[in-house]
Amino acid sequence: MSLVTLSEVLQPALKQGHAVAGLVTLGWEDMRAYVAAAEAENVPVILQAGPSCREHTPLPVLGKMFTHLAERASVPVVAHLDHGYTTEECRIAIDSGFSSVMFDGSRKPLAENIAETAAIVEMAHAAGVSCEGEIGFVGYSGGENSDGTDPEEAAQFARETGVDAMAISVGNVHLQQDKEGGLDEPRIRAIEALTEIPLVIHGGSGVPVAQRTSLARGSKICKFNIGTELRMAFGNAMREAVNADPARFDRVQILKDTHDPLVTATRTVLRAFKGA
């Protein structure tokens, strides 16, 4: 296959009743494992470069890593900028070969969020790139509180920005390590009733697996972002690899031992989003 846009994987998901995983990457080891897992499950995958990833590795380098994997993959791969906070970040991502950008103006007043998102949508579409926006702030476990999405504002945001996908705040929380929460389904249904575009859940690691599957098959939620859950799997695998032989010091050998456990964990995540 090859590099594809976000719309190219989310529009079929919307029509066919499944969702696509947006997997948060931190480095070569996890992005390679995510593609291997997607190939094993025969599903598309969205590789995401979030703020912490970009602090560690520059966007032009990440763009080459993502496109290298996409060009050799047997399934569709989206190279996605996650939580771009400025026009310049989105422009650099587009220039670096990303096929999708997400502009996060969710902390801004509605009119400002709409205006800035619409300008980035225009820039992205001119380059043949998809754009995701966010309406309603998704908070952080142990940090900032969420501000739930208002359905009427969501309809206005979707209509006036032209985004290809819309991230919403419906009880989801970033960095949640357990799955004891759950999404506000009545709010989701109210948003769905007023909008037609694919919806996105950030902080998907905290959503119970059964609810992920039911919403993937029976709602307009077509993308779940998963980060914490797989970072934990990677960290556990690396800890075991280090502790198994304290005399080992070659990080390449240590990191190789994380691959199979991370592929297994990722395959479990991907299965939950398949259609009936």
Q: What is the DSSP letter of 104?
A: -
Q: What pLDDT sits at residue 168?
A: 93
Q: Is residue 139 part of a domain?
A: yes
Domain containing 60: what range? 3-271
Q: What is the DSSP letter of 14?
A: H
Task: Kindly report each contact of residues 143-150 with a partner whose C-beta sits within 8 Å and lies 24 or more positions away, as own/partner.
Answer: 143/175, 146/171, 146/172, 146/173, 147/106, 148/184, 148/187, 149/187, 149/191
Q: Is residue 103 part of a domain?
A: yes
Judged against a pLDDT cut of 80, whether residue 14 lies above it is answered with yes
Q: Is residue 98 part of a domain?
A: yes
Tens digit of each residue's pLDDT (9 = 90 or more) over 36-59? 999 999 999 999 999 999 999 999
Contact 19, 13 (CB under 8 A): yes
Judged against a pLDDT cut of 80, whether residue 252 lies above it is answered with yes
Contact 222, 215 (CB under 8 A): no
Q: Is residue 197 part of a domain?
A: yes
Q: What is the DSSP letter of 144?
A: S
Tens digit of each residue's pLDDT (9 = 90 or more) over 121-158? 999 999 999 999 999 877 665 565 666 788 999 999 99
Q: What pLDDT sits at residue 203?
A: 83
CA torsion 244-249-252-255 (nearest 10°) is 30
Residue 82 designated active-site: yes
Q: Is residue 245 part of a domain?
A: yes
Q: Is 140 helix (H, G, I), strand (E, B) or coil?
A: strand
Burial of 258 (0-12, 13-18, 19+ CB in 10 A): buried
Q: What pLDDT sits at residue 276?
A: 78
Tens digit of each residue's pLDDT (9 = 90 or more) over 196-232? 999 999 888 888 899 999 999 999 999 999 998 999 9
Q: Is residue 18 part of a domain?
A: yes
Q: What are phi and psi of 12, to 5 degrees?
A: -60, -40
Look at 30 and 173; give whichever has higher pLDDT: 30
Q: What pLDDT sits at residue 143?
A: 60
CATH number assigned to the domain comprising residue 224? 3.20.20.70
* Total domains present in the chain: 1
Q: Is residue 276 part of a domain?
A: no
Q: What pLDDT sits at residue 221?
A: 96
Catalytic residue among 30, 82, 150, 164: 82
pTM here is 0.94
Least confident stretch, 14-18, 197-201, 241-245, 259-263 = 241-245
